[in-house]
């Protein structure tokens, strides 16, 4: 069952987030810090207190098997761009033993529904080049609209 996260879910949410962090550390140890600091853990609790952020979880009989953290962003018009509102997926994770069973798709459907309720017409996310989830995102209808490049010196 997909639902909004509650304070009592933080511990299980952070266990999932720790899996994601380990994936990032393995993929880019030159960028990501190993371990799972208190500050990193506290970010999930902050999301639950913010009106512009939300966490949804897939709760299977008290076990949180997946979660998605979203930002609802309102950008005012600027000299560079038009005003726009969109939903940004900050983090998504499905527990290793629950992957490829439809959990991530259900979480994405929840995000779509909630973003539409807020009058938003776009969902954005970014993904690291080493992340195997790119195919999943493309299957969910995401497409490249911006690229970040780097050059080693």
Question: Residues with Cβ < 8 Å from 137, sequence gap 6 or more?
Answer: 125, 127
Q: Is 70 exposed, middle or buried (0-12, 13-18, 19+ CB in 10 A)?
A: buried
Examine the pLDDT at 128 and tell me if it is beyond 90: yes
Radius of gyration of the chain (CA): 16
Whether 82 is covered by a domain: the verdict is yes
Compute the distance between CA of residue 1 and CA of residue 64 in angstroms, rounded to an integer: 10
Q: What is the pLDDT of residue 84?
A: 95
Could you report the per-residue pLDDT of 45-90, keeping only the tens digit for each? 999 999 999 999 999 999 999 999 999 999 999 999 999 999 999 9
Whether 149 is covered by a domain: the verdict is no
Whether 88 is covered by a domain: the verdict is yes
Whether 147 is covered by a domain: the verdict is no
Whether 92 is covered by a domain: the verdict is yes
Whether 39 is covered by a domain: the verdict is yes
Whether 25 is covered by a domain: the verdict is yes
Whether 148 is covered by a domain: the verdict is no
The count of structural domains within the chain is 1
Share of the chain above pLDDT 90, in %: 93
Could you report the per-residue pLDDT of 6-15, keeping only the tens digit for each? 999 999 999 9
pTM to 2 decimal places: 0.93
Q: What is the pLDDT of residue 36?
A: 87
What is the average per-residue pLDDT within 100-124? 96
* Domain interval for residue 15: 2-139
Could you tell me the CATH number of the domain that includes residue 16? 3.40.630.30
What is the average per-residue pLDDT within 128-148? 93
Could you report the per-residue pLDDT of 29-43, keeping only the tens digit for each? 999 999 888 888 899
């Amino acid at each position: 069952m997909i639902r909004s996260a509650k304070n009592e879910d933080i511990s299980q949410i952070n266990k999932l987030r720790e899996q994601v962090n380990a994936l990032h550390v393995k993929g880019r140890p030159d960028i990501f810090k190993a371990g799972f600091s208190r500050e990193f853990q506290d970010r999930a609790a902050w999301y639950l207190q913010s009106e512009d952020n939300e966490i949804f979880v897939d709760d299977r009989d008290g076990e949180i098997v997946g979660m998605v953290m979203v930002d609802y962003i309102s950008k005012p018009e600027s000299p560079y761009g038009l005003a726009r509102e969109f939903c940004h997926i900050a983090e998504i994770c499905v527990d290793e033993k629950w992957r490829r069973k439809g959990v991530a798709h259900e979480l994405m459907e929840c995000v779509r529904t909630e973003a539409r309720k807020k009058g938003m017409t776009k969902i954005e996310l970014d993904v690291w080049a080493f992340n195997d989830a790119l195919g999943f995102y493309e299957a969910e209808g995401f497409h490249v609209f911006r690229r970040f490049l780097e050059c080693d010196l």
